[in-house]
Structure 1
Amino acid sequence: MAAGTAALALAACAPVARASTELAVYKTPTCGCCTAWVDHMRAAGFEARVTELADLSATRRTEGVPDALASCHTALIGGYVLEGHVPAEDVRRLLAERPDALGLAVPAMPLGSPGMEMPDGRKDPYETLLILKGGGTRVFARHG
């Protein structure tokens, strides 16, 4: 019984696996909406490290992001790529579910998405797309 109690106590002290909060963000130096998206992610508890690049096309190509999904910034987290104004809630879900995919994209910078908030509150409905390994997509979440 003592051995069982000791094993239980040891298991209780073992580190618990948790989703990564470390986010590597690649953006151009002049993009204000990208900075606003980084602020959204930091407010949601993510630790963002920002690298400014004049051109993001090489980063996107390396990560397998199709040109049709390209947006104003690219981020990496937990083995996934994030393209565009992906909401923090979708990133949390991605990291929890761990689908066999490249990552998430919100193409076209929709109004009302994180970082694209409008002073008058206008919001466009938009979809967060799951980027599949073959380059295709499927809807991951709908917003607005």
Structure 2
Amino acid sequence: MAVLASRRAVLLGAALTAFAAPAVAAPEKRLVVYKTPTCGCCGGWAAHMRRAGWTVEEVIRDDLAPIRARHGVPDRLASCHTAVVGRYAVEGHVPASDVERLLRERPAARALTAPGMPAGSPGMEAAGREPYRTILLMNDGTTRVFGRHNGA
């Protein structure tokens, strides 16, 4: 009798497992960053992303304007490097936490930027510390503040 009850429990467990909702895999934390051969702070940003658990492929280009143009990033929102993660461009020294939030929320946008090279942003820590904002570039070309950092 105990063997029969045990078999029923095993079969019931197998049946429940078969009908359970499949686990949703976390998105892969992988990006490609395009940078010029002479910019050291870009490597600092890539190191920041690696420390946050990202796999980073670094691609050296003499001219990043074509990469920015392909992703619709205007010069006024440009920085020293452009990363691509999924359908989004990530321009400049955007913190890993903002990139992760971008991928969680999936807004109708084409890019997330930290225009210029703000002091105290990831990769720019040696330059001091200043308040800065990350800017979301929407698909329609409008922008909105996405994140505030260093007291911005």
Tell me the TM-score normalised to structure 2 length. 0.85
Which digits, 9 at most, give the CA deviation of each residue in 1:44-92, with x for residues without a partner? 0000001000000000000111111111000011211100000000001
Native 8 Å contact 1:19 1:78 kept in 2: no
1:37-56 aligned within 5 A: 37-56=45-64
SS in 2 for 1:75: strand
Alignment of 1:59-78 (within 5 A): 59-78=67-86
Q: Which has the larger radius of gyration?
A: 2
Matched residue, 2:5: none
- 1:133 corresponding residue in structure 2: 139
Q: Secondary structure at the match of 1:102?
A: strand
Structure 2 unaligned segments of length 5 or more: list them. Answer: 1-8
How far, CA to CA, are the matches of 1:4 and 1:134 in structure 2?
52
Equivalence for 1:95: 103
Runs of 4+ in structure 1 deviating by more than 4 angstroms, as ranges, are: 2-7
Distance 1:101 1:7, change over 3 A: farther
Residue type of the alignment partner of 1:44 = A
Structure 1 residues 34, 12: CA separation in 2 closer, same or farther (over 3 Å shift)? farther
Flag structure 1 segments of 5+ consecutive residues without an equivalent.
Answer: none
Contact 1:25/1:73 (<8 A) preserved: yes
Partners of 1:15 and 1:56 lie apart in 2 by 39
Query: Hey, what's the Cα distance between the residues in 2 that align with 1:38 and 1:59?
Result: 17
State the partner residue of 1:85.
93
Contact 2:71 2:111 in 1 (8 A): no
What displacement does 1:103 show?
2.1
Please report how far the alpha carbon of residue 11 of structure 1 lies from its aligned counterpart in structure 2 after TM superposition.
Answer: 5.7
Q: Secondary structure at the match of 2:101?
A: helix
Aligned position for 1:25: 33
Match in the other structure for 2:119: 111
Percent identical across equivalent pairs?
Answer: 54
Q: CA RMSD in A?
A: 2.2
In structure 1, how many angstroms separate the alpha carbons of the residues matched to 2:71 and 2:47?
Answer: 23
Q: Is the alpha carbon distance of 1:136 and 1:13 closer, same or farther for their aligned partners in structure 2, counting shifts above 3 Å?
A: closer
- The amino acid that maps onto 2:114 is V
Aligned residues: 142
Distance (whole Å) between structure 1 residues aligned to residue 76 and residue 15 of structure 2: 52
